[in-house]
Structure 1
């Protein structure tokens, strides 16, 4: 019988000068923080001190307005043509959001790297023929595949995993994405939409963050409720199943009251240790700042 996960909060910090944190990725001692309406990518050390930044968009406003923003909602480190890149994905819920940005790694904070922009029309059109609404909110690499999370909402309460080649922006030919439905335990506390993914290769775990938010569309924000951490075990063996269900799911407010009213949007792994997974989370409370959390998860 599986034990209930034990999660402890180790650290939390607000970044008042970075808006709308929506995704985190970790590589070589650095955290890469993306915001859905931010003009820049923020680079942090593991104590959340700023180590640099890279401008992604040129815009006169501190927060890019909702109709114009690229809505970068997920980020992952992936390998492409023998090089490492940070890939940041737009939600694709509007035309302005059908973007994938690739930033070469590693780079020094004094560098001005070339940022490659892809629009992946072939890939997104194929997804659009199978999904009622596209709203990509999470990304990870699992078993050499790119796994994206498509978030549902109250009027379309379906969360979906999209399994594809890591270079999904290139022509698909016959390598079409595979869609897998996420089945959640029944609850009377409202619809829980997936907000990010993190795969732990050494343990074959897929971690999901989910949030409750009172919204009936892929565009509008709503009242923030609870955030959850869910675990799918032996995920590589389940990747071709039509549906998948978490083995455990924890309401983060039960871990600490500081998670109350926090919309967890991003998760990444720093270390897989004997004493637990050292994970970082980021929350966007729609107020113009970002809140970071370090947790230890015994799974």
Structure 2
């Protein structure tokens, strides 16, 4: 597949996801809550997680309508986590996706509620009413909700953030750092792949390959994030550069050094591609190119 064809696919998928987010995130929620929610999730971000959902769905010839709901749900969970992480009680950041963070724009209380509402909305999107034109089998709804909840909760993203906050100013061994990032960042990226796979027929070999791909890619994403935090400007990143170093947080760069962190990113990239190659998937090209995009990105 040519790079132009891939970029065309990405733009088409981004348009679908953005339109669905705009449709399902209500502007009329009470007391300005909807405005804060939409500010926090619309018109920004790489949308990598939705792209992984859609690409994995294609790889298993799955239900694209169900995958669109899954893509929106996982982006809502990601966006809510950013809203909460940016607040003064956590990372205390003022810039996200090139604009003021939600708590800066709307106040801390509104930001907290917007994050709470986005988290709840994610599961509402995955469980459409019987009268909805895009219904899903109850078993698929349950599977998607289970994958997303586990990735977002104590065993995944929330647990990783707890370790992150508890590790400020403390030395952290590489295996502990890897565990933290597999939870905080990797779990939701891996779940994105598995949610896409859940929308179609997926034999055990393909499922294991996609799971391994998602795990390697999720960790690679965080390693690259740590590298970019010390090599790129805030204007390029769309968020505050150097904030982890300033906060004395352990990262792959501080624990391993910049050169070794780059080596780790490339090794994880190869692990992800090798996992895809043994999956026997009919069409995994978009997943392969998304792995390239994660490691080669500059923001």
The answer to which structure has the higher strand fraction is 1
TM-score > 0.5, shorter chain as reference: no
Of structures 1 and 2, the larger Rg is shown by 2
Using structure 1 for the length normalisation, give the TM-score: 0.31
The answer to which structure has the higher helix fraction is 2
